Amino acid sequence: MSQAAKIPATVITGFLGAGKTSTIQHLLKTAGGKRIALIINEFGDLGVDSDIVKGCGIEGCNDDDVLELANGCICCTVADDFIPTIEKLLNRETPPDHIIIETSGLALPKPLVKAFNWPEIRTRVTVDGVITLVDGRAVADGLFATNPEAIAQQREADENLDHESPLEELFEEQLACADMVVVNKLDLLNEGDMDTVLAAIRKEIRPEVKIVKISHGEINASVLLGLEAAAEDDLESRPSHHDDGHEHDHDDFESFAVELGEIANPEVFIDKLLPIVAEHDILRVKGFAAVADKDMRLVIQGVGSRFQHYFDQEWSEGIERRSRLVIIGDHDMDEAAIRAAIAA
């Protein structure tokens, strides 16, 4: 079967908080009537991203077209979760025109692209492109940079140690597999910052990969879709730290959900979270909150010390009014202390 006869799929990857969900929402608004199905994979036990998309109110974005994979990182559950989900979409009476796959912020894109060579789906769907979202402000702040002095000290103590940061490795993996890189949060950068960000990105991407700069996830579907990369046929040009057969280890990271009652004031609540995030080096906070005397659900999204919050939809019948946050951080973060601090 020719590539033209296959259903195109776009993989949207990127680190925690890069803006993948906002980008997908804008993509749906500008899809021009295409029937788009979404597969959303999250790290953690609360489906925040899928609930945000389902609650977006965009015409043509039906709940049945948003499928969630919450049983683990998508690159590690290909056979058990991803392949059956793709088959389910392909076997619909009216298949989608395009499939969008949002990976978790901790996923390796290459194993997912490899999955499109499985016999069950190879003749029916193709990877139109891998889009890597980058949090421009985070990169400009050196979030993925390694401390040379600390490395030197560790090498002196034990020359057999692997000194590469797991976060830096993920960043490199996501860029190396990209067909297009989208630098988000342009509004938070100045000219000097952008030079730093572009230099960090260009070290990891292939020469032909285009870099697009945006703010607030606002990019037209016509830019992201229709790349016709057939990435599953181009795996050799997409190097990975794990090409030697070593498994991708998610033990570097941990997540847990915190249940809360109603909050009185969003700004005061976030001010309370900031020192907790700093003290425990929390990577990501995301979830929903019920605000006293408000009929709308509050979305909370935090990347390091940067938080945003907004009301997205009314608490209605079938949506339980409650506050829940997912906390994502290194595997050795003190869960008990974090829970106690948030609940205090």
How do residues 36-95 score in pLDDT, each as one tens digit? 888 887 544 444 444 544 444 444 445 455 565 454 444 445 555 677 888 888 888 888
Question: Is residue 165 very low, low, confident or very high in pLDDT (cuts 50, 70, 90)?
Answer: very low
Residue 155 above 50 pLDDT?
A: no
pLDDT in tens, 289-304: 999 989 988 988 887 7
Three-state secondary structure string covering the chain: CCHHHCEEEEEEEECCCCCHHHHHHHHHHCCCCCCEEEEEECCCCCCHHHHHHHCCCCCCCCHHHEEEECCCCHHHCHHHHHHHHHHHHHCCCCCCCEEEEECCCCCCHHHHHHHCCCHHHHCCEEEEEEEEEEEHHHHHCCCCCCCHHHHHHHHHHCCCCCCCCHHHHHHHHHHHCCCEEEEECHHHCCHHHHHHHHHHHHCCCCCCCEEEECCCCCCCHHHHCCCCCCHHHCHHHCCCCCCCCCCCCHHHEEEEEEEECCECCHHHHHHHHHHHHHHHCCCEEEEEEEECCCCEEEEEEEECCEEEEEEEEECCCCCCCCEEEEEEEECCCCHHHHHHHHHC
CA distance 206 to 272: 43
- According to the model, what pLDDT value does residue 273 have? 94
Residue 269 above 90 pLDDT?
A: yes
Closest CA to 143 of 306, 257, 324: 306
Where is average pLDDT lowest: 20-29, 42-51, 123-132? 42-51
Question: Is residue 126 very low, low, confident or very high in pLDDT (cuts 50, 70, 90)?
Answer: very high
Assigned token pair, 335: 């869960």
Looking at every residue in the chain, the average pLDDT score rounds to 79
- According to the model, what pLDDT value does residue 148 have? 39
Of residues 120 and 293, the one with the higher pLDDT is 293
CA distance 243 to 241: 6
Of residues 163 and 218, the one with the higher pLDDT is 218
Sheet of strand 125-135, all strands in order from the earlier edge strand to the far edge: 66-69, 36-41, 98-102, 7-14, 125-135, 180-184, 210-213
Q: Which residues pair with 309 in a beta bridge?
A: 300
Q: What is the pTM of this model?
A: 0.66
- According to the model, what pLDDT value does residue 156 have? 57
pLDDT in tens, 202-260: 999 999 999 999 999 999 999 999 999 999 998 989 988 776 555 545 556 677 889 99
